[in-house]
Amino acid sequence: MEESLDRVRQMLIAMLENNEYLFTDTALRDGMRLARTLGDASRGFPSQCGLVDYIVEKLRLPFRLNEVPMGEPPGSGGIAYSMTNANGQGLYIKLKVEDDQVVILSFHVSKHSRGD
């Protein structure tokens, strides 16, 4: 399972770097709101490209990538992938491959975060 998640991680990175992505309205709004706290001005924040660069940076680090079954019943809407606490301050990022692109579903601080 860990090996297949490593392949998924590499696929997500490649697709994001090739500009094969789109944001949901909510993820983009939440991400832009958080952008100023995620890095310095030299990173290009706030912009979609800046957020994608940040996601790629986190995917390159050894944060655990989790499978998230979507839909009801679980899995009927495909599988998404999440990183929880990706910045050490509760950042939750959820991505899904759909129609040959990465859909950025979530980019927010989790209300369930304990900050650990």
Of the candidates 42, 29, 17, which has an alpha carbon nearest to the alpha carbon of residue 105?
29
Residue 65's SS3 state is coil
The whole-model pTM stands at 0.86
Q: Would you say residue 44 lies in a domain?
A: yes
Q: Would you say residue 115 lies in a domain?
A: no
Q: Would you say residue 67 lies in a domain?
A: yes
Q: Would you say residue 38 lies in a domain?
A: yes
Please write the tens of the pLDDT for every residue from 30-46: 998 888 776 644 455 57
CB 102 within 8 A of CB 24: no
Please write the tens of the pLDDT for every residue from 2-61: 679 999 999 999 999 999 999 999 999 999 888 877 664 445 557 899 899 999 999 999
Distance (Å, whole) CA 48 – CA 23? 8
Q: What is the CATH number of the domain that holds 84?
A: 3.30.2310
DSSP string, 47-92: SHHHHHHHHHHHHHTTPPPEEEE-TTTTTTT-EEEEEESTTSS-EE
Q: Would you say residue 43 lies in a domain?
A: yes
Q: Would you say residue 20 lies in a domain?
A: yes
Q: Would you say residue 54 lies in a domain?
A: yes
Dihedral angle computed from the Cα positions of residues 23, 82, 61 and 46, in that order, rounded to the nearest 10 degrees:
30
Q: Would you say residue 71 lies in a domain?
A: yes
Distance (Å, whole) CA 71 – CA 92? 19
Residue 67's SS3 state is strand
Domain count of the chain?
1
Domain that holds residue 86: 2-109
